[in-house]
Structure 1
Amino acid sequence: MTLDQIPGTPSQRHATTAAPGAGISRPLVLLLAVACGLIVANNYYAQPLLPDFTRALHISTSTAGLTVTLNQLGYAVGLVLLVPLGDLLARRTLVTVLLSIDTLALLAAALAPGAFTLIAMLTVAGISGCAINILIPAAATLARDDQRGGVVGTLMTGLLLGILLARTVAGAIDEAIGWRWVYGIAALAIAVLTLALRLNLPDLPAGRGAGYPKLLASVATLVRNEPFLRRRMAIGAIGFCCFQLLWTALPFMLSGAPYHYSAAVIGLFGLLGAAGAGCAQPAGRLEDRGAAHAATGVLLLVIGAAWALSAGGTGSLALLIAGILVLDIGVQGVHVLNQARMYGYPAHIRSRVTSAYMTAYFLGGSLGGALGVALYTAAGWAGVCATGGTLTILALLLWLTDRHRSPTGQETPPA
């Protein structure tokens, strides 16, 4: 089956819809970047609020933790089951529906009378939050070929800043006026965002020729038939695995000898993630300049160097901080380049490509989180860094097999 035969070929019946590849304005790019940040932040507000959940709702720590776990699981469900709909339905309408559900779920979380309602509503918010991964391929489809990488990079900057700032904002609001206001304000922000996107997001042609079951089945077909996509999925999954491996094990290391830092001080290390956010747009522009393949290899080497620096972190805080900064730059840069390159696939399958890639990316991160705890317990910080270095070598070997191929499988000049 060729790419043109994948179900969901764009319909020509919508003469009033936006033309793919016609270009996207700077104000719309900025609006979409803000949207990505506001939506993804909903998945991270709960983390600093867990102690308040336990006290206010009279629940155990493990029950409170379900607000985070099931929210993330809900997001994964949305990636698998809802994001492919971006290739079948009108995306502006789909985003409007998802964000309307998100608004109601956040409002219900703010008013939750008990733990069950709070957990359920944050799970729904996770599912509807997959709207991010409908907006990003929509922006890539609207963009001209020579601006696509920069557009994706800008949206990823907004997303990364949303992740970075969510915990800080939630903690500040919680301390000032209580945890319920975190979700009340978030609901208001998403409601305003929904209206802004409804008014300003151009409508792209809806797909045709595929029902929902065939649409989901075609994701597996894409993965089976496209070695380029499989390699990008694997490289992205390894990158996020490394990221979660470090950030899961790091609090254990910092709370013990020789640092003995408090939870508040450990939380400040999260601000180092700004380095990754800052490199997202420059990384995207490397795709526009035809340098994505070479840049990916360099960034994978950067990740390897990060593990070497971090390995000395038990004896030097400076080396540890340098390792964290360098790892964030490498992981986020590779992620942006992966996405920018994959949007070279035809417009009518980009949502399904995104679904496949982001599902692999999320699974890689989940594995990294699990490995972080197990490895630190069994082999300490040295074991964590050695495993991270080994994973990076594996990613480099995958990169070497890329052979400068484009998403359509054609040979392209070395970048």
Structure 2
Amino acid sequence: MQASSSQGISRTVIWLMAIISGLVVANNYYNQPLLALISNDVHISESAASKISVLTQIGYALGLLLIVPLGDKFFRKKLILIDLLLVFGSLLWMTFATQLWMLYAASLLIGMTSVIPQLFVPIAAELSSDEKKSSNIGLVMSGLLLGILLSRFVGGILGEILGWRAVFGIAAGLMILVWFAVYKMLPELSPNFKGTYKDLMRSVFHLARAQPVLQLASFRGAMAFGSMCALFTTLVFHMEKPPFNAGSSVVGSFGLAGAVGALAAAKVGAFQKFMNINRIIFYSLLIVLGSWAFTYFAGYTYWGLIVGVILVDLGVQSSHIMNQTSYFLIRTNAVNRLNTVYMVCYFIGGSLGTWLASVAWHYAQWEGVCFVGVSFGLLALIAHLIFSRKVSKTL
């Protein structure tokens, strides 16, 4: 089944991509509430266990850089089906890993192969009219965001009941179901790049250098996501200690609080009727900074952490959707390569936030983590205030 931008895209396919995006991206985040369980089971330190999350995010950035641009060169449906088989194999390896190097290698591969949602977002953008672009991107992103957030909840609950290995085994089984759904329902899009892989990658770097709108969106996204990752990566260690003394299931349940913010963020495109993209992003980044006020000043209470989680997810995901809407307005057929530049930067930011938060936790505990989160949010806001009006004129 072929599709083109003139034909549009059905609501059914948008919903399919949203659901599959959630199921696939969840593979990157099951480990976060399970780090303490993995640490105890494999007899490694908290610091060593936290590198599992870092490597998964680094793997995701590598997959975005090396795999997602191929969506412009090959038939996307075939590319997605092949990639799903690689995801399945990576999850199985994680399920049966017994040594630290195996955990690290499997985590890197899980991240590298679980990039399918970032092939879906350009499909939604490419086949949508300008009027429906942000709403369709928002729907696919809502599935992706719920997958990120609910994976922590599901992973925490199942990990405590069945063990952490069962979580990855179940995830591998779900990828088989996803494979058949993609095979049956996803439309096929023809490639739009005819050069070599070297030429393709060169064009990715050219876009990164030549598009100011993309550059600013990428920096804002990286900093905002780094801020959120600083919170979620260390939350499990924070809540293991007094006054909470909580297990992985309680920490995972914070994903439900974050889902409230993610669902609200999916509707952010509606505000374009009242204000422009830059103003929406400005308010979104203010919400990110505001979330850390609750996380810091009420960080030893349940209500403070819940409000902080809701607000950080709302702010980060709202700015994320608007960032993507801004660069998909660039008139080019290189939609997958545009998304590659942005998402590579996004997850490099996430990896940096995760790493710096783990270092801050080691030296300054929760107060250090909050400092890292606020710093990332401030950098995003400062860059937006300085450059947003200037780069908007280049569209």
Q: TM-score, normalised by structure 1?
A: 0.82
| Residue range with higher mean Cα deviation, 333-342 or 17-26 | 17-26
Match of 1:39 among 21, 24, 35: 24
Q: Is the 8 A contact 1:39 1:190 kept in 2?
A: yes
For residues 2-41 of structure 1, the C-alpha deviation after alignment (integer angstroms, 9 at most, x for no partner) is xxxxxxxxxxxxxx73112532211111110111111111
The 2-side partners of 1:388 and 1:46 are apart by 21
Q: How has the CA–CA distance of structure 1 residues 326 and 64 changed in structure 2, closer, same or farther, with 3 Å as cutoff?
A: closer
The 2-side partners of 1:188 and 1:132 are apart by 18
Q: How has the CA–CA distance of structure 1 residues 74 and 319 changed in structure 2, closer, same or farther, with 3 Å as cutoff?
A: closer
- Aligned twin of 1:296: 281
How far apart are residue 333 of structure 1 and its match?
A: 0.9
Match of 2:259 among 274, 285, 300: 274
Q: Is the 8 A contact 1:219 1:353 kept in 2?
A: yes
- Aligned twin of 2:155: 170
The 1-side partners of 2:366 and 2:170 are apart by 39
Match of 1:402 among 381, 388, 392: 388
How far apart are residue 103 of structure 1 and its match?
A: 2.3
The 1-side partners of 2:36 and 2:376 are apart by 35
Q: How has the CA–CA distance of structure 1 residues 347 and 182 changed in structure 2, closer, same or farther, with 3 Å as cutoff?
A: farther
SS in structure 1 at match of 2:267: helix
How far apart are residue 299 of structure 1 and its match?
A: 1.2
Q: Is the 8 A contact 1:141 1:347 kept in 2?
A: no
Between Structure 1 and Structure 2, how many residues are aligned?
392
SS in structure 1 at match of 2:340: helix
- Aligned twin of 1:87: 72
SS in structure 2 at match of 1:370: helix
Q: Is the 8 A contact 1:312 1:320 kept in 2?
A: no
Q: Mark the structure with the bigger radius of gyration.
A: 1
The 2-side partners of 1:156 and 1:187 are apart by 22
Match of 2:83 among 57, 74, 98: 98
- Aligned twin of 1:7: none
| Residue range with higher mean Cα deviation, 309-318 or 319-328 | 309-318
SS in structure 1 at match of 2:74: coil
- Note if 1:232 corresponds to 2:206: no
- Aligned twin of 2:177: 192
Q: How has the CA–CA distance of structure 1 residues 160 and 116 changed in structure 2, closer, same or farther, with 3 Å as cutoff?
A: same
The 1-side partners of 2:31 and 2:232 are apart by 17
Q: Is the 8 A contact 2:152 2:253 kept in 1?
A: no
Match of 1:71 among 56, 68, 76: 56
For residues 216-272 of structure 1, the C-alpha deviation after alignment (integer angstroms, 9 at most, x for no partner) is 111111111111111111111111121123334545555556x35334444443432
Q: TM-score, normalised by structure 2?
A: 0.86
Q: Is the 8 A contact 1:24 1:142 kept in 2?
A: yes
Could you tell me which runs of 5 or more consecutive residues in structure 1 were left unpaired when the two chains were aligned. 1-15, 411-415
Could you tell me which runs of 5 or more consecutive residues in structure 2 were left unpaired when the two chains were aligned. none
- Aligned twin of 2:139: 154
The 2-side partners of 1:311 and 1:65 are apart by 21
Q: How has the CA–CA distance of structure 1 residues 89 and 287 changed in structure 2, closer, same or farther, with 3 Å as cutoff?
A: farther
The amino acid across from 1:296 in the alignment is: I
SS in structure 2 at match of 1:206: coil
The 2-side partners of 1:376 and 1:300 are apart by 24
The 2-side partners of 1:402 and 1:337 are apart by 12
SS in structure 2 at match of 1:279: helix
- Aligned twin of 2:246: 262
How far apart are residue 202 of structure 1 and its match?
A: 1.3
The 2-side partners of 1:110 and 1:247 are apart by 23
Q: Is the 8 A contact 2:21 2:144 kept in 1?
A: yes
How far apart are residue 305 of structure 1 and its match?
A: 2.2
How far apart are residue 373 of structure 1 and its match?
A: 3.4
Q: How has the CA–CA distance of structure 1 residues 103 and 274 changed in structure 2, closer, same or farther, with 3 Å as cutoff?
A: same
For residues 54-111 of structure 1, the C-alpha deviation after alignment (integer angstroms, 9 at most, x for no partner) is 677x664577666544433322211111111111111111111111222233345445
Q: Is the 8 A contact 2:57 2:351 kept in 1?
A: no
- Aligned twin of 1:22: 7
The 1-side partners of 2:380 and 2:133 are apart by 25
- Aligned twin of 1:338: 323
Match of 1:207 among 192, 208, 211: 192
The 1-side partners of 2:372 and 2:159 are apart by 37
Q: Percentage identity across aligned positions?
A: 35
Q: Is the 8 A contact 1:149 1:286 kept in 2?
A: no
Q: How has the CA–CA distance of structure 1 residues 302 and 21 changed in structure 2, closer, same or farther, with 3 Å as cutoff?
A: farther
